[in-house]
Amino acid sequence: MADLPGIVVTGASGRMGQMLVRTIGASDKARLVGCVERSGHAWVGRDIGECMGGAAVGVVVTDDPLEAFAKAQAVIDFTAPAATVEFAALAAQARAVHVIGTTGLEAAHLAKIEAAARHAVIVRAGNMSLGVNLLVRLTQKIAAALDEDWDVEIVEAHHRMKVDAPSGTALMLGQAAAEGRGVDLEAAMDSGRHGITGARKRGAIGFAAVRGGDIVGEHDVIFAADGERVILRHVATDRAIFARGALRAAIWGQGAKPGQYDMMDVLGL
């Protein structure tokens, strides 16, 4: 047991944090060695098992990330951009693999994560599920096969608490479509239409976001031409798919050289 990789979960009280604690607890390939929450959070100083309404598991939630990371081989982090940037530097300092699921990262955040990856293994993906990563590959292939007579639209739907748009997954799918077509996503992106928009621009890659209820995550990639449409769809019904992918990444990262990786590397896609 002691030689299994020890994992710390940041944002342990969150939707994904709790799912990760359960997934690691049930795994025979890794063990939970730490949980981090921000200072002042009601769970700090308490056993994570009891916080989640069960029996004690011997892991007390801390607000000192470096102390927790120093005892771990990997950190799994589904929090928020500012926190993730801070955790990237600390995980690198502790030489722990940093698995980043956080979305909504902007250029300044990404630059800091890239800097941390010079000294440590970072695996980052806007979606850690096998199904979505397969869909990314399919999107790239179909976009490469079809010309700009086929309009690309990405429609995503998530729960009412999601704070960023387009979703990290939608951006991965958009990037795949852009790569398939050999264009730059930033230049092709058409996001958040409203008012008199004018006709659709040829070659645009469109994004639309639905927010409501408890939707876990749904993504459609629509290729629309005159007279026909191809629609690729992924529907997540359980956050366990993301937690399983993140745990797989944390274990995979143990053998890797410092650098930044994604789920394609982990899954060998």
Ligand X SMILES: O=C(O)C1=N[C@H](C(=O)O)C[C@H](O)C1
Ligand Y SMILES: NC(=O)C1=CN([C@@H]2O[C@H](COP(=O)(O)OP(=O)(O)OC[C@H]3O[C@@H](n4cnc5c(N)ncnc54)[C@H](OP(=O)(O)O)[C@@H]3O)[C@@H](O)[C@H]2O)C=CC1
CA distance linking residue 205 with residue 183, whole number of Å? 10
Residue 162 makes contact with ligand X by CB under 6 A? yes
- Tokens 């940093």 belong to which residue? 98
Report the side by side order of strands in the sheet with 6-10: 61-62, 31-36, 6-10, 74-77, 97-100, 121-124, 259-261
Which of ligand Y, ligand X, none interacts with 158 (beta carbon under 5 to 8 A by kind)?
Answer: ligand X
Give the nearer residue to ligand Y in terms of CB position, either 15 or 119.
Answer: 15
CB 10 within 8 A of CB 79: yes
- The catalytic residue among 162, 219, 234, 257 is 162
162 carries an active-site annotation: yes
Known binding-site positions: 11-16, 37-38, 101-103, 125-128, 159, 168-169
6 binds, among ligand Y, ligand X, none (CB under 5 to 8 A by kind): none
> Six-digit token pair at 123?
């695996």
Q: Which stretch binds ligand Y (CB under 6 A): 48-56, 72-80, 179-187, 220-228?
A: 72-80
Q: Give CA–CA dist 75/132, Å, rounded.
A: 22
Q: How far apart are the first and last CA of the chain?
A: 30
Binding residues for ligand X, per CB under 6 A? 103, 126-127, 158, 162, 167-169, 217
Binding residues for ligand Y, per CB under 6 A? 10-11, 13-17, 36-38, 41, 78-80, 83, 101-104, 125-128, 168, 242
Task: Enumerate the active-site residues.
Answer: 158, 162
